[in-house]
Amino acid sequence: MKRKVLLIYTGGTIGMEKDYTTGSLVPFDFSTIFKRIPEMNLLECEVSVHPFENPVDSSDMGPQEWRMIAEWIHKNYNAFDGFLILHGTDTMSYTASALSFMLKNLGKPVILTGSQLPIGDLRTDAKENLLTSLYYASLYENDEAVIKEVAVYFEYKLLRGNRSLKYSAEFFDAYQSPNYPILGQSGVHLNIEKDLLWKPKGEFELDLYLNEKVIFYRIFPGMNFESLLEFKTPEAIVLQVFGSGTIFNNEKTQNILQELRNRGIEIVVISQCVSGGISFGKYSNSNIFTKIGAISGKDMTAEAAITKVMHILNNPKYDKSFSELFSENISGEVTEDF
């Protein structure tokens, strides 16, 4: 029996072609994808295509589009064995991270992929990314899905979605998972590391809650730190600091952070370093965060930390405090004993 995969095209380079009159990239009719990539007809899965009515550039993707994707997966969950989302590369890690929190306890694969070059380009990476992603989205053993989480496939590597980040705008090998091993790799054989895969803890459930009153703030030497107090509406701030958790060691910094906490604003601290993460107390300049009750983001990516905060912040479906929830490993986004 062939497995059924729903392919959701949201937009992005992978669905573009060059207009040789203007030299610009324009979307093509995605219903013609089987003619453009006839190899899709040779796969051992049935593919149904659901394109966005109006394809969205990845820089325009946000909570509204994340909810649309999550709702469509939920609506079609019982009709398909796996899901493939074609997405622009610039914000794909944000979408993957958000979906990992909204689609709770997945029992089926949700794979995201895109490309650096359009499908029609002679040197495109789109075909391999698309075809291998379909393989992973339809991978079953003993009538059970092998992958039960949101993952990103790009340039021969399968990555946990909420551990991925885009690090190159130029190379085909554009994505990394710096703090978690890759889940699988394609070469002559298509491999998967089953021991590294996420295991659901209950029944599949949809939770579309996202709180958009979140600020992301990166510190730098010599900055006017008082500008943080000028934000009037945030309910949480994701603060990206130096190294393993250091910030300016002075009374003004502590007073500003304490004032934010007095306003009821949650503060989550993540590192500017791509690899590694936050360790309060390692250096004295990180002790300030313990004093004011900030929360360590440990080794989470910025994309995962931001979308996790959006999802759990005052979410009525949770009965734990924000700090308790953020410290939990909800869907494999953080190393628990970091």
pLDDT tens figures, 32-78: 888 888 888 888 899 999 999 899 999 999 999 999 999 999 999 99
- Does 17 have pLDDT greater than 90? no
pLDDT tens figures, 150-208: 999 999 999 999 999 999 999 999 999 999 999 999 988 889 999 999 999 999 999 99
Spell out the residues 6+ positions from residue 234 whose beta carbon is closer than 8 angstroms to its own: 213, 214, 215, 265
Tell me, what's the pLDDT at 240?
98
- Does 23 have pLDDT greater than 90? no
- Does 2 have pLDDT greater than 80? yes
Pairwise CA distance, residues 234 & 216, whole Å: 10
Question: Are the C-beta atoms of 268 and 311 separated by less than 8 Å?
Answer: no
- Does 289 have pLDDT greater than 90? yes
| Amino acid at residue number 92 | M
Catalytic sites, residue numbers: 13
Please count the CA atoms within 13 angstroms of the CA of 232 that sit on its side-chain side: 0
Pairwise CA distance, residues 148 & 137, whole Å: 10
Q: What share of the chain is helix, strand, coil (3-state, %, to 5)?
A: 30, 25, 45
Spell out the residues 6+ positions from residue 19 whose beta carbon is closer than 8 angstroms to its own: 25, 26
In the chain, % of residues over pLDDT 70: 100
